[in-house]
Amino acid sequence: MSEIKKKSHEEEHRGHNPFVHKLDRSAILVIIGIIFLFSFSVIVVLIAPRFVDDTWTSPSSPFQVQMYEVADPNYYMSSASSGGKELQYVNHIRQGNTLLAFKETGNLRIITTPDLEQYVSRYNENGLKLTSRLLMIRDPEGEMVDKAVHLQKKMQEDWIAYHATATKEEVAKIKYQFVELYDPKVEEAFAIDPSGGIIQDWIDENFIILDSEPKQKFHKDYGVIYVQNPREFRIIPVHYGEGMRWRYDSKGRPVKDLQELTSPMMGFYSRKQLIELGEQIYAIEGCWYCHTDQTRTLIEDVVVNGSDSFPAPPSSANEFIYQKITFPGTRRIGPDISRVGVKRPSRDWHKAHFWAPKTASAGSIMPAFQHFFDNDPRGTGSSAIGIPNYQFEAIYQYMMTKGTRITPPTQAWWQGKDPIKTKEIIEGLRKLP
Amino acid sequence: MTTYDDRAVKLFIYPAILFMVIGMTVGVFMAFNTFVFPDYFSGEYIHFGRVRPVHVSTVTLLWLLSVNIGLMLYFIPRLCGISLWSPRLALWAGAIWWFSLIIGSNSFPWGTNWGWEYAELPMWISWIPIKFLFAVSWIMLVVNFFMTIFNRRFEKLYVSLWYSMGTLIWTTFTVLVGNFMIVWLPEGMSRVNASWFYVHNLVGLIYTPMGLATAYYFLPKLANTPIYSHRLSMIGFWSIAFIYAWIGTHHQIHGPMSQWLQTTSIVFSLWLFIPVWTVVYNLFATLQKDWSKYLQSAPIRFLMMGNIFYLITCIQGPLMALRNVNEITSKTDWVIGHAHISLYGTFTFFAIAGIYQAIPAMTNKPLWSSKLADWHFALNLWGSVLFLFSLWVGGFLQGLMWANWANGSSYAEFHSNLTHMPFVQTVAETRIWWILRAIGGVIILLGNILFVINMYNTIVLKQPATQETPQKAGAYL
């Protein structure tokens, strides 16, 4: 690259003026070559894969679809401080949309009018009856009270007849709970969920849907999510200083509509909103710099994420199709979170851990996330004076989706029902095809 | 005769030098506050998860990308023999560049992380469309560079111009994919795949060609000798163009990615040996005629040491992509070491060498102190060796500890091993390496503070060497 040479080129090219003319061959070749090679690889590695591998877009099971599209948007929760001792969980039930089951258990009996009799799954009956007609249960009212008293007496007598040697004290203990199935004649209602579960009620065999035709596309799947024995969520609004608050009371008035439920006074958020918020929090807090979200196809990963008896199946592409951001991660200086919903389901543990990770798990280098609780230790307790800050609940709900939604719980890997047979593979009994 | 308008170069390089030291200070803070004394300074705005992106964004965007743009603004006109097509456009681009990136990079403690690796910059901060402004500024630069190249007076395209043209095209597309188009893809693995495509191309098709263009321009300048082989440099260029875009998925080996895609990325990763070795040999062979220059000049030492680090990076990279090596190294601190040797050990060293040449040439003043430059190099070298080796060794041991969980022949045995070795213990055992890493980081930081002093004094204190301004075209080629 001598100076003289350059200068001679310079002289030669003085005459070039029009723009295209100046784009000489070498420059054109460089540009075309770069674009050709680059677009070729883009087509193969960036565009093609999702059309070649359908697990990139198809769900892992109908259960996964229903959890995200049916259960989450209709499941509401609030930690508003006046809501009572614990979090409040409410199912949003809609006529012709939500599947309901009215099932008796060992000490719960359902009484109802003859026209609703067909919807009750009796205690000794096999199979579960489901309907999308909006019915609810309540404590017996009106003539149903007499019916309940009568039935209680009869059942105790039956019990005594069956257990001939029973003492008086034992008989007194034989209490049955009676509830009434009734038709509230509304289009939508809110039902309290006492279990507050992470995993929805789900049935995949031995059930019938009593509707004449499926009202919703998911009702045609082999397994369905349903709500069992819905009991109306009733509140009493109370004056509190200048403003209004509310508390749960079975003798109160029903919540008017979704707008009231999600109003700032009541402070309910759907689980869908919370999970999305949790994903955002996971992003902005940078959790993903230290925690991976993938069980790799390595023995160390399936074992470390497994339960006591069964290894976790490796993460598959379709587990992530409902996430706007996916955080597979590059570094693991905190445990992997892809199966945390199964490994650590306890809300209390997570509360304690986010408040003070170094106390909850000795030797941890995780920062404390006390701002999830407004830096107020009362937020970590389950007392009535909770901190109405949804950051903890959001990140918790987000984490609880991890590993719990691949298959319905009836076919779950933690029960050993693992279609990939991870255990046999890691023990060397079976090889992948 | 052409006069070069270097205002834009200064606008990019001067602040970038400052941001290098700021970014590294944040890094040193984290090395202590997260790993040596975990969460000592605690709280919402200062914990590791929110500070880490500040470090990464400051050193990658505010320092390395900015300084590389600055050096391109310096050598592209000089290789074309004409002044920049529009200095005014470049100044506007610089203004938008610093405005959006400084605000964006420092916003993360307030919760603006976008959630995708290396694309953390938020779309919006209040009314400011950060990413959009960044993209606009970039496109202004691309137009300016291409118009300069199209209007050039020297017919022959020197290899640095090839690399520059490549990076201008690649970066435009890569940044658009990683920062904007990713949200148009279906949720789940399609986005993850696009994200890794972006992450790897950021290093492979942005920093690598920019860094190599810098090295190919400044080594002949500093050593005052022509490049060893143009043919070799072209083989290197075209093999980079062919290979890099294919290998993003090697970040997801053993993960929930399609196996064929993983295998494809592994094969292409191995081919990376070709471009790397051509570059490394070419740079070494250039200096081979007179190795004494290595002893005489700190910038040449930076270039050559960067070249050695480049060789190490690119031996590591393809090997880490192999499934069995990946099983140990992946997700450990080894990866952090690898990221630092490429962006710090290699491309930052190249950029520093470029600055040592460019600033005295632009200001027409001699370097304030070559003694200080020697110290700068020595501290950088020993600091980074300590820094990198502690991450590699610590990471490798971490990987072995995890793999040892998998001892046994039955699930029960595996699981009992696991209960004997809880996860936090593997973290505890890595602490000693984290301490060494932090010490290495402090040494590097000290070295670069000397660099800032040296550059400041050169620019501000020294008198111009001669009155021979403006510079003449071709005088430096």
Q: Give the number of C-alpha atoms closer than 13 A to the C-alpha of residue A158, restricted to the C-beta side.
A: 8
How far does the CA of residue A211 sit from the closest CA of chain B (Å)? 34
A-interface mutation test, from B41, B123, B181, B190, most A Cβ less than 10 A away? B190
Give contacts of B409 with chain A, Cβ < 8 Å: 427-428
Query: Distance between CA atoms of A218 and A214, rounded to whole angstroms?
Result: 8
pLDDT given for residue A226 in this prediction = 92
Model confidence over B9-26: pLDDT tens digits? 999 999 999 999 999 999
Phi, psi of A403 (to 5 degrees): 85, -10
Residue B408 lies in a domain: no
Query: Distance between CA atoms of A147 and A257, rounded to whole angstroms?
Result: 33
Q: Which residue has the tokens 């490796």?
A: A314
Q: Give the number of C-alpha atoms closer than 13 A to the C-alpha of residue A400, restricted to the C-beta side.
A: 23
pLDDT given for residue B115 in this prediction = 94
pLDDT given for residue A16 in this prediction = 46
Q: Exposed, middle or buried: residue A51 (CB in 10 Å: 0-12, 13-18, 19+)?
A: exposed
Phi, psi of B6 (to 5 degrees): -100, 15
Q: Which of B39, B47, B241 lies closest to A34 in CB terms?
A: B241
B-interface mutation test, from A7, A46, A290, most B Cβ less than 10 A away? A46
A residues 291..310 contacting B (CB < 8 A): 292, 294, 296-301, 303-304, 306, 308-310
Sign for the pseudo-dihedral over CA of A372, A377, A380, A386: negative
How far does the CA of residue B423 sit from the closest CA of chain A (Å)? 7
Residue contact A288–B115, C-beta within 8 A: yes
pLDDT given for residue A8 in this prediction = 45
Residue scoring higher pLDDT (A175 or A116): A116
Model confidence over B336-361: pLDDT tens digits? 999 999 999 999 999 999 999 999 99
pLDDT given for residue A308 in this prediction = 83
Residue B291 lies in a domain: no
Give contacts of B108 with chain A, Cβ < 8 Å: 284, 286
Residue contact B165–A46, C-beta within 8 A: no
**How many domains does the structure of chain B reveal?**
1
CA trace torsion B296, B300, B306, B309 (10° rounding): -40
Range in A376-380, B337-341, B468-472 with the lowest mean pLDDT = B468-472
- CA geometry: angle B285, B287, B290, nearest 5 deg: 120
Q: Does pLDDT of A19 surpass 50?
A: no
- For the CA atoms of chain A, what is the radius of gyration? 30
Residue contact A303–B405, C-beta within 8 A: yes
Q: Give the number of C-alpha atoms closer than 13 A to the C-alpha of residue B408, restricted to the C-beta side.
A: 17
Residue ranges making up the domain that contains B29: 1-156
Query: Distance between CA atoms of B249 and A232, rounded to whole angstroms?
Result: 51
Q: Does pLDDT of A126 surpass 90?
A: no
Residue B149 lies in a domain: yes
Query: Distance between CA atoms of B262 and B251, rounded to whole angstroms?
Result: 9
Residue contact A335–B158, C-beta within 8 A: no
Strands (E), B14-155: none
| Beta partners for residue A137, in sequence order | A181, A231
Query: Distance between CA atoms of A405 and A72, rounded to whole angstroms?
Result: 12
Give contacts of B260 with chain A, Cβ < 8 Å: 52
Task: Tell whether A333 lies on the interface with B, counting CB pairs under 8 A.
Answer: yes
Give contacts of A1 with chain B, Cβ < 8 Å: 158, 220, 226-227, 477
Residue of A nearest to B410 (CA): A427
Residue B413 lies in a domain: no
Q: Does pLDDT of B306 surpass 90?
A: yes
Question: Which token pair is B246?
Answer: 């294919």
Residue B88 lies in a domain: yes
User: Do B103 and B125 form a contact (C-beta atoms < 8 A)?
Assistant: yes
Residue scoring higher pLDDT (B128 or A11): B128
Mean pLDDT of chain A: 85
Residue contact A358–B39, C-beta within 8 A: yes
Domains (ranges, CATH) in chain A? 81-253 (no CATH), 271-426 (1.10.760.10)
Residue B55 lies in a domain: yes
Query: Distance between CA atoms of B445 and B422, rounded to whole angstroms?
Result: 35
Residue B136 lies in a domain: yes
Q: Give the number of C-alpha atoms closer than 13 A to the C-alpha of residue A91, restricted to the C-beta side.
A: 29
Q: Is B188 left (phi over 0), alpha (psi -120 to 50) or beta?
A: left
User: Do B457 and B450 form a contact (C-beta atoms < 8 A)?
Assistant: no
pLDDT given for residue B133 in this prediction = 97
Q: Which of B190, B258, B335 lies closest to A330 in CB terms?
A: B335
Q: Does pLDDT of B254 surpass 70?
A: yes
Residues in contact with A387: Cβ distance below 8 Å, sequence separation at least 6, in sequence order: A79, A81, A373, A374, A376, A378, A379
Query: Distance between CA atoms of A124 and B155, rounded to whole angstroms?
Result: 93
Q: Which of A280, A300, A325 lies closest to B406 in CB terms?
A: A300
- CA geometry: angle B371, B372, B376, nearest 5 deg: 120
Give contacts of B115 with chain A, Cβ < 8 Å: 279-280, 282-284, 288, 325, 327
- To the nearest 10 degrees (0 to 180), the angle between helices A391-400 and A271-284 is 100
User: Do A373 and A389 form a contact (C-beta atoms < 8 A)?
Assistant: yes
Query: Distance between CA atoms of B152 and A24, rounded to whole angstroms?
Result: 11
Task: Tell whether A145 lies on the interface with B, counting CB pairs under 8 A.
Answer: no
Q: Which of B38, B331, B428 lies closest to A331 in CB terms?
A: B331
Give the amino acid at A168: K
Query: Distance between CA atoms of B216 and B251, rounded to whole angstroms?
Result: 29
pLDDT given for residue A387 in this prediction = 60
Residue contact A300–B241, C-beta within 8 A: no
Range in A103-112, A149-158, B127-136, B292-301 with the lowest mean pLDDT = A149-158
User: Do B63 and B444 form a contact (C-beta atoms < 8 A)?
Assistant: no
B78 C-beta neighbours (distance < 10 Å), count: 25
User: Do A343 and A306 form a contact (C-beta atoms < 8 A)?
Assistant: no
Give contacts of B411 with chain A, Cβ < 8 Å: 303, 306, 309-311, 423, 426-427
Query: Distance between CA atoms of B147 and B469, rounded to whole angstroms?
Result: 25
Question: Which token pair is B231?
Answer: 């043919």
A253-254 and A207-209 strand pairing = unpaired
Residue contact A13–B155, C-beta within 8 A: yes
Average pLDDT over residues A150-166: 79
User: Do B126 and B210 form a contact (C-beta atoms < 8 A)?
Assistant: no
Residue B111 lies in a domain: yes
